[in-house]
Amino acid sequence: MIFRQLFESVSSTYSYILASRKGGEALIIDPVLEKVDRYLQLFEELDVKLVKAIDTHLHADHVTGLGALRDRTLCVTVMGEQTKADVVSMRVSDGDTVDIEGLQLGVIYTPGHTDDSYSFTLHDRVFTGDTLLIRGTGRTDFQNGDARAQYESIFNRLLKLPDDTLVYPAHDYKGETVSTIAEERAFNPRLQVKTVDEYVDLMSKLDLPDPKMMDIAVPANVRVGLSQDEVAKRGWALKAPELASQLNRTDVAIVDLREDRERSKYGEIPGSVHVSYNSFTNALKPGGVLRKLGSTKSLVFYCAFGERSAMAVQRAREAGLASARHLEGGFSEWQKAEDHAPWTK
């Protein structure tokens, strides 16, 4: 496995790159905007292709690199379903997995630092975001933080992992790089409490100043989504009711770009063909399934929230599929419209 821990010194943020092999797919956890050029250089040097970029939560101390990495690599952005970010490609919930070639991250909802905080497990390690730090824990006094929720997340979720599980946090301010669950249970001063009330009292007395970048970072990180307006202005987008009117047309192929997990969990548009976004490049090549479909039908792409499909329709048009369009707002908008106009019933 390829594994890199990268440090951004201004906000003391750790970012993590993972891939199963050279020449394979990669993901990054908690990227920082100012380091995007370095990440791209490293992907090239390691001979890996970035396919997913994850934020463990909505950061207040730095501007995320999710949007810039998506724009420059066409990767899938990933956050928890509770996020206040306007659009991310994929939202995960407790018990889900985040998959790339050869690797599967487990998803654990660990609120407390913020209400959208998640941790991600992989074999012998856990990426804890700001929930569990090395000899510390994330503050709980803003962004819907909750010390009681954090106690539950740490004591009843993270500390239940095997003792030798490596702990990789999103930040460290003292030069530490990694710990273990056993170490944190034994030596983390904030975890030497006997009750949840004691922990809540401890956290209420921290009296920390707001992060220096908070007023800049939070608004920027809320607006991380790809602008679908530009795609719509070109006439390449359909609203849900417009797509509904084309469900039974033989000259239209509706293409679902989501992953199997998303389709089985949330459902699908009737009659749609499945071509996952990860296989999109091959499907566009001569002889690929989208090339064949596009030779006789107009293609309409959709995903969860419209971000993957907006990128896909641009690539399809560039590849010569001149009638390709996408469902603006994705399956989420389809479901909202369906509640008011149940055309499939």
Q: What percent of the chain has pLDDT over 90?
A: 91
Average pLDDT, the chain: 95
Instruction: At 97, give phi and psi (nearest 5°).
Output: -130, 155
User: Is the model's pLDDT at 93 over the cut of 60?
Assistant: yes
Nearest Cα residue to 228 out of 162, 161, 292, 306:
306
Task: Render pLDDT for 297-326 as a digit per residue (tens, 0 to 9).
Answer: 999 999 999 999 999 999 999 999 999 999
Q: What is the arithmetic mean of pLDDT over 185-214?
A: 94
- Residues 6 or more apart in contact with residue 100 via CB below 8 angstroms: 18, 19, 20, 24, 25, 26, 27, 51, 52
Question: Can you give the pLDDT at residue 142?
Answer: 87
Mind listing the pLDDT tens digit for each residue in 245-260? 989 899 999 999 999 9
User: Tokens in use for 226?
Assistant: 């790809």
- Residue 46: CB partners within 8 Å, gap ≥ 6? 2, 4, 17, 19, 22, 26
pLDDT on residue 290 = 95
Name the burial class of residue 263, with classes exposed (0-12), middle (13-18) and buried (19+) by CB atoms within 10 angstroms of its CB: middle
Say what the pLDDT of residue 233 is: 94
Per DSSP bridges, beta strands 90-92 and 76-80 are parallel
Report residue 342's pLDDT band, with 50, 70 and 90 as the boundaries.
low
Each residue of 47-87: pLDDT tens digit?
A: 999 999 999 999 999 999 999 999 999 999 999 999 999 98
Q: For residue 27, what is the DSSP state? A: E
DSSP string across 75-112 = PEEEEETT---S--SEEE-TT-EEEETTEEEEEEE--S
